[in-house]
Amino acid sequence: MNDEDTFEFIPLIKCIAPTDEQRNDPEYIPQLETDSNAKNILAERFASPISIFVYMGNLGAGKSKLASLTAASLITSITDQKLQPFKGGDDPKGITHGVWMCARPLKNPNKKRGSILWVVMM
């Protein structure tokens, strides 16, 4: 099995942890950071135009599970597929935080060129 037969879900955007002083400042604006590995993967692996699937919703609503099931259903041609799904669970604090993406592009079945990127916002 090669890298094209597996899926890896990686952080795309994360919140920079505030200091105690910033956390107590009512005017503090949280800072976001794009993961450099994710930026490189987008530049190297994804062909334009890029269609994006986004899953968002309340904590514990099943976004991670839905994204994992989507991955499995879109990859019907791979017989020995190793899907590494988004982590999920019933922890009230959540398991996965930030904005995550699948590192492997899918071909858009409705277009002759381009990629599908799916993103989960936690």
The CA distance from 6 to 18, in Å, is 35
Any domain includes 22: no
Is residue 34 in a domain? Answer: yes
Report yes or no on 66 lying in a domain. Answer: yes
> 46 phi and psi, to 5 degrees?
-95, 130
**Which domain covers residue 109, as residue numbers?**
3-17+29-121
Q: If you average pLDDT over residues 78-85, what whole number do you get?
A: 48
Q: Are 96 and 108 in contact (CB under 8 A)?
A: no
Establish if 60 belongs to a structural domain.
yes
Strand intervals (E) in 1-122: 9-15, 32-34, 50-55, 99-102, 106-107, 115-121
Residue 49: asked if its preceding bond is cis (omega within 30°), the reply is yes
Total-model pTM: 0.66
**pLDDT score recorded for residue 52:** 86
Domain total for the chain?
Answer: 1
24 belongs to a structural domain: no
Which range among 1-5, 70-74, 108-112 has the greatest average pLDDT?
108-112
Instruction: Establish if 23 belongs to a structural domain.
Output: no
